[in-house]
Amino acid sequence: MTLTDFPSAIGRRALVIVAALGHFTAFFIDLLRNTPSGLRRFYLTILQVQAIGNRSLSIIAASGAAVGLVLALQGYNVLSRYGQAESLGVLVALSLVRELGPVLTALLFAGRAGTSLTAEIGLMKAGEQLAAMEMMAVDPRVRVLAPRFVAGIISMPLLGAIFSMVGVMAAYVVGVMMIGVDQGQFWSQMQDGVDVVKDVGNGVVKTVVFGIATTFIALYIGYESKATPEGVALATTQTVVVSSLSVLFLDFILTALMFSKP
């Protein structure tokens, strides 16, 4: 490529990205419009909550416990140096509820539920099931996409809360029962320091936003994937990458909005 080709190549690429962004947005608005009719067969949504939510429960709970344990150990390490070991409870709780709970749950969700959604939709596309639905005058966006979208939005906040809860309990087991931090201080400092609306509430808001983002990205990538085995494989990796980056980016924006001092 000569030097003069470079700007036009960038320009073309930029146009492609802008067009893709437009298509992405149009798809999102379309999906939102179809969601009410998709909810008419509510049993479909329930099936999806079971597939996406229930089945993610074990990895979320296990990870929550692991993170809680590690937070307690590391937190105690640092706090005891300043004689503030009793603050372990509030340290763990705030870390989990504000940040680690929503973000880690979202990343795990994208990896476990997101990829399964993408693969499922991609394979349905490859097997012409979506085309068959269209030919039978059934809108796949209403019957296939909308229930999964709603299921993701329902599941994420629940999973996020479970992650944080298990994390706090695991930190209690390590901090109070094993290391010997004072039980009363553990809970009272936590209750003093964690605000229902500002911390727990904002954490829930984050999980809802992450749920919308990760579920939609997974559905979109699956729906637009190439209808071949390689296409589906590529799509699942794309889902993980794009979802994860989006979650981290959204977290930055949300944290700045919610937790910066006025």
Partner 1 sequence: MGNDALVSIQGVTFGYDSRDILSDVSLEFTRGKVVAIMGSSGCGKTTLLRLIGGVMTPRAGRILFSGAQVDTGDRAALYALRRRMGMLFQFGALFTDLSVFENVAYPLREHTTLAESMIRDIVLMKLNAVGLRGAAALGIGEISGGMARRVALARAIALDPEIIMYDEPFTGLDPIALGITANLIRRLNDATGATSLIVSHDVHECFQICDYTYLLSGGRVVAHGTPQELQATEDPEVRQFIRGEPDGPVRFDYPAPPIAQDLGVAA
Partner 2 sequence: MGKKQTETLVGAFVLLGMLAVLFLALKAANLASFSFGATYPLLARFDNVGGLKVGAPVKSAGVAVGRIASISFDNKTFQGLVTMDIERHYAFPTDTSAKILTAGLLGDQYLGLDPGGEDKNLQSGDTIKMAQSAVILENLIGQLLYSKAAESPSKEGTGKK
Which residues of the shown chain bind partner 2 in the complex (CB under 8 A)?
43, 46-47, 49-50, 53-54, 57, 93, 97, 154-155, 157-159, 161-162, 164-166, 168, 187, 190-192, 194-196, 199-200, 203-204
* Shortest distance, position 97 Cβ to partner 1, whole Å: 37
| Residues 100-139 as x/- pattern, contact with partner 1 by CB under 8 A | ---------------------------xxx-xx-xxxxxx
End-to-end CA distance of the chain: 51
- CA quadruple 77, 96, 68, 218: dihedral sign: negative
Closer residue to partner 1 in complex, CB, 9/131: 131
> How many residues comprise the chain?
262
- Residue 157: HSE in the Cβ half-sphere, 13 Å Cα cutoff: 14
Nearest-approach distance from CB 165 to partner 2, in angstroms: 4
Q: Which does 18 bind (CB under 5 to 8 A by kind): partner 1, partner 2, none?
A: none
Contact 116, 48 (CB under 8 A): no
3-state secondary structure of 261: coil
Nearer to partner 2, 125 or 206 (CB): 206
Which of the choices partner 2, partner 1, none does residue 50 contact, using the CB cut-off of 5 to 8 A by kind? partner 2
Cβ proximity to partner 1, 140 vs 203, nearer residue: 140
Minimum CB–partner distance for residue 54 and partner 2 (Å): 5
| CA–CA gap between residue 9 and residue 19 (Å, rounded) | 15
Contact partner, 127, from partner 1, partner 2, none, Cβ < 5-8 Å per class: partner 1
Query: Are the CB atoms for 225 and 235 separated by under 8 Å?
Result: yes
Tokens of 87: 């603050």
For residues 135-172, one letter each, b for 16 or more C-beta atoms within 10 angstroms of the residue's C-beta and e for the rest, the string is eeeeebbbbbbbbbbbbbbbbbbbbbbbbbbbbbebbb
Q: Residue 186 Cβ, how far from partner 1 at the closest point, in Å?
A: 47
How many whole angstroms separate alpha carbon 61 and alpha carbon 36?
31
Nearest-approach distance from CB 44 to partner 1, in angstroms:
11
Instruction: Tell me whether residue 1 is exposed, middle or buried, using C-beta atoms within 10 angstroms of its C-beta: 0 to 12, 13 to 18, 19 or more.
Output: exposed
By CB under 8 A, tell whether 36 contacts partner 1: no
Contacted entry of partner 2, partner 1, none for residue 10, CB cut-off 5 to 8 Å set by kind: none
DSSP H or E stretch at residue 169: helix 146-172
**Chain residues in the site for partner 1 (CB under 8 A):** 127-129, 131-132, 134-139
